[in-house]
Structure 1
Amino acid sequence: MLRLPEDLRGAFKDPLGAVYTDAAALLADAGDPILAVGDVVTYHLRVAGRDPDVSVLDGKTKREAVSEEIASVLAGENPRIEVENEPATLSPDMLDALREAIDRDAHVVIHVTGEEDLATLPAIVAAPDGASVVYGQPDEGMVLVPVTPESRAEARALLQRMDGDSEAGIDRLTRQD
C-alpha cells in the first residue's frame, strides 16, 4: 500500500492541468480514452453526453454523500470493479483495478469503498498516450490532464515520493498482461 505523507499533501493543491467549468469545452479538448476520477466529474461528463471509459467513484463529494440526482445519473449498467481503498492511500487493489479497467474494451466503473482521491496519479501512469484523465478541483472545476510522457513522468515522480513500495505499485500499473 502507498500512503500519502504529510509533506506531500501540498503537492496536490495546484491542478495538474487546465481547469474547466464547462464539460462541453473540456470534452472538445479531451483525448481518448477518458478516465474520470470522482463522482461529480463523472456526473458532469455523462450529462454532457460522454460516459468516461473508466470512472472511479466513491459515492461522495467533499467527504459527503453525493445528491440523489448525481447518484441517479451515476447508476447504470457499466461493469463494476469493487475495491477498498483507505483515505490518503493507494491500495494494491486500486492499482490493479485501474490496470484492469483500462485494459477492458468496455466502459468500466471502479467503485471504491473508502476514498478515491489519489487515483488520479496512477490513472495518469497507467493510461495510454493520448488519453485524458479528468478529476475535480474542489470549488474550482474539472481538471483535464492529457496523458503524455511528460505528465506520466510527473505523476510517476509524485507516486515515488509516497510512503511504501512505490516501484512495486508502478510495476502493477505498467505491466502488460
Structure 2
Amino acid sequence: MILPPNLRDELKTPLGKLILNDSSEKESYIQKIYSKKVVITVGDATSELLLGMGLTPLLHIIDGQEKREKRSPPLAESINTELTVKNNPGEISTESFNLIKTIFEQKPPIRLLVDGEEDLLVLPVCLFAPANSVVMYGQPNEGLVIAEITNEVRDKVQKIVNQMK
C-alpha cells in the first residue's frame, strides 16, 4: 500500500499527545505511562530513548536510520524475538502489514528490524496493538508522540489505510 500525496499532510497531525523535544517532563511522563500501559515504539530514536531509560517496549520497530541517515540500531539486551521485514519508504508492504497483524502473538520483548523505512508502520501497529497499549513515535523536528490505542484512534487509522493504494 502506497501513501498518496494528499494523505501526507494528514499524517503530520499527531495521533496522540505530542511532547516537545525540549520538554523537561518527557522522561517522567514516559515512566508514568510505561508503568500503566503496554508500550510499543516505532523509530530508532524513540526506541533508544526508552531503552536508555531502562524501559523495554513490548515491541520496538526500527530501521537503522534517523532522518534518512544510517545509524547503529539501539542496544537492547532483553529481546526474546527478533524479526525482519522489507518495507519501502512511503509504503506499507503486504508482508509488513501481515506480520504486524500477528506479531503480538510472539514472545515479547520483540524487535522488528525493517529493511527500508519503518515510519508508516505506526498505522498497522495502531490497528493491531493489544488493548491498554500506547504507541510512541517521533514527530520529526518536534518531539515524541504518545498515542493511546482507543477505538477513535483505530477508526482514524483505518480510514487512512483504506485510502492507501
TM-score, scaled to structure 2: 0.88
1:24: which partner in 2? 28
Deviations 1:9-57 (A, max 9, x none): 1111121111124233123135532111000000001112211111110
Q: Distance in 1 between matches of 2:44 and 2:130?
A: 22
- How many percent identity over aligned positions? 30
Deviations 1:66-116 (A, max 9, x none): 2x5xx3x43545221110001111112111221232122311111000000
Whether the aligned pair in 1 keeps the contact of 2:85 and 2:113 (CA below 8 Å) is: yes
Letter in 2 for 1:100: T
Number of residue pairs matched by the alignment? 158
Q: Distance in 2 between matches of 1:76 and 1:29?
A: 22
1:170: which partner in 2? none
User: How much is the aligned-residue C-alpha RMSD, in angstroms?
Assistant: 1.6
Q: Distance in 1 between matches of 2:76 and 2:68?
A: 19
Give 4+ residue runs of structure 1 displaced > 2 Å after superposition. 29-32, 73-77
| Structure 2 gap ranges (5+) | none
Whether the aligned pair in 2 keeps the contact of 1:39 and 1:74 (CA below 8 Å) is: no
Which protein has the bigger helix share? 1
Determine whether 1:88 maps to 2:87: no
Letter in 1 for 2:111: V
Whether the aligned pair in 1 keeps the contact of 2:39 and 2:133 (CA below 8 Å) is: yes
SS at match of 1:74: coil
Instruction: Find the partner of 1:116 among 118, 135, 156.
Output: 118
Whether the aligned pair in 2 keeps the contact of 1:97 and 1:110 (CA below 8 Å) is: no
Whether the aligned pair in 2 keeps the contact of 1:36 and 1:42 (CA below 8 Å) is: yes
